[in-house]
Amino acid sequence: MPDPEKEISKLRAEIAQHDRLYYKAAQPMIDDQAYDRLKTRLAELEAAHPEFDLEASPTQFVGDDRLEAFESYRHRKPMLSLDNTYSSEELIEFGRRLERLFPEQKLTYLVEPKIDGVAVSLTYEDGQFVRAVSRGNGIEGDDITRNVRTIEAIPDSITDAPAVLEVRGEVYMRHEAFEKINHAREQAGEPLYANPRNLAAGTIKLLDPAEARQRPLNCILYGIGACEPGNYFSAQSDIQTHLKAWGFPVLEKYWLADGIAQAWKSIEELDTLRQGFAYPTDGAVVKLDPFALQEEAGYTSKAPRWAIAYKFEAERAETRLKEISLQIGRTGAVTPVAILEPVQLAGTIVSRATLHNEDEICRKDLRPGDTVLVQKAGEIIPQVLSVNLDKRPADSQPFDFGEHIRALGLDASRDPSQAVWRINSKDDPIRQQRALQHFASRACMDIDHLGTAVVEQLVQRGLAKTPADLYSLSEVEVLQLDKFAEKSAENLIAAIAASKQRELWQLIHGIGIPHVGKQSAKDLEANFDSLDAIADATEEQLEAVDGIGSIMAQSIHAWFDDSTNQALIEQLKACGLNLASSRQATADGALAGKVFVLTGSLPELTRDEATQMIEAAGGRTSSSVSKKTDYLLAGEAAGSKYAKAEKLGIPILDEAAFRELLRQ
Ligand code: IVH
Q: What is the pLDDT of residues 546-591, one digit of tens each?
A: 778 788 899 999 999 999 999 999 999 999 999 999 865 455 778 8
Atom number of ligand 1 nearest to Cα 62: 10
Indicate whether 157 and 274 sit together in one domain: yes
Q: Which of 255, 276, 311 is the last residue of a domain?
A: 311
Taking the centre of ligand 1 as the mean of its atom positions, its distance from the CA of residue 528, in whole angstroms, is 46
Question: Is 300 inside any structural domain?
Answer: yes
Question: Is 163 inside any structural domain?
Answer: yes
Indicate whether 467 and 558 sit together in one domain: no
Taking the centre of ligand 1 as the mean of its atom positions, its distance from the CA of residue 309, in whole angstroms, is 8
Question: Is 595 inside any structural domain?
Answer: yes
Atom number of ligand 1 nearest to Cα 119: 13
Q: Would you give the DSSP letter of residue 276?
A: G
Q: What is the pLDDT of residues 437-452, one digit of tens each?
A: 999 998 899 999 998 8
Indicate whether 93 and 235 sit together in one domain: yes
Indicate whether 146 and 223 sit together in one domain: yes
Indicate whether 144 and 242 sit together in one domain: yes
Please, are residues 185 and 192 in contact by the beta-carbon 8 Å criterion? Answer: yes
CATH number for the domain spanning 574: value is: 1.10.150.20
* Choice among 36-40, 252-256, 377-381, 486-490 with the minimum mean pLDDT: 377-381
CATH number for the domain spanning 294: value is: 3.30.470.30
Question: Is 67 inside any structural domain?
Answer: no
Q: Which of 282, 311, 340 is the last residue of a domain?
A: 311
Question: Is 65 inside any structural domain?
Answer: no
Pocket test for ligand 1, best of 32, 35, 62, 81 (most atoms within 8 A of CB): 81
3-state helix, strand, coil split of the chain in percent (to 5) is: 40, 20, 40
Indicate whether 395 and 266 sit together in one domain: no
Taking the centre of ligand 1 as the mean of its atom positions, its distance from the CA of residue 82, in whole angstroms, is 7
Indicate whether 245 and 321 sit together in one domain: no
Listing DSSP states for 633-654 in one string gives EE-BT--HHHHHHHHHT--EE-
- In angstroms, the CA 252 to CA 250 distance is 6
* Sheet containing 84-85, strands listed edge to edge, beginning at the edge strand earlier in sequence: 84-85, 307-311, 281-288, 108-115, 255-258
CATH number for the domain spanning 50: value is: 1.10.287.610
**Most distant CA pair in the chain, distance:** 92
Catalytic residues: 114
Atom number of ligand 1 nearest to Cα 112: 15
Counting the structural domains of the chain, the total is 6
Indicate whether 435 and 400 sit together in one domain: no
Residue nearest to atom 10 of ligand 1 (CA): 81
Is the CB of residue 118 below 6 angstroms from any atom belonging to ligand 1?
Answer: no
| pLDDT the model gives residue 246 | 96
Indicate whether 266 and 359 sit together in one domain: no
Residues 6+ apart with CB under 8 A from 268: none
Q: Would you give the DSSP letter of residue 29?
A: S
Question: Is 362 inside any structural domain?
Answer: yes
Q: Would you give the DSSP letter of residue 197?
A: H
CATH number for the domain spanning 354: value is: 2.40.50.140
Q: What is the pLDDT of residues 339-391, one digit of tens each?
A: 999 887 765 678 899 888 898 899 899 999 999 999 875 445 788 988 989 89
Question: Is 54 inside any structural domain?
Answer: yes
Taking the centre of ligand 1 as the mean of its atom positions, its distance from the CA of residue 497, in whole angstroms, is 57
Question: Is 418 inside any structural domain?
Answer: yes
Domain that holds residue 402: 316-422
Indicate whether 565 and 593 sit together in one domain: no
Indicate whether 508 and 568 sit together in one domain: yes
Indicate whether 488 and 533 sit together in one domain: no
Q: What is the pLDDT of residues 214-242, one digit of tens each?
A: 889 999 999 999 999 988 899 999 999 99
Q: Which of 268, 296, 311 is the last residue of a domain?
A: 311
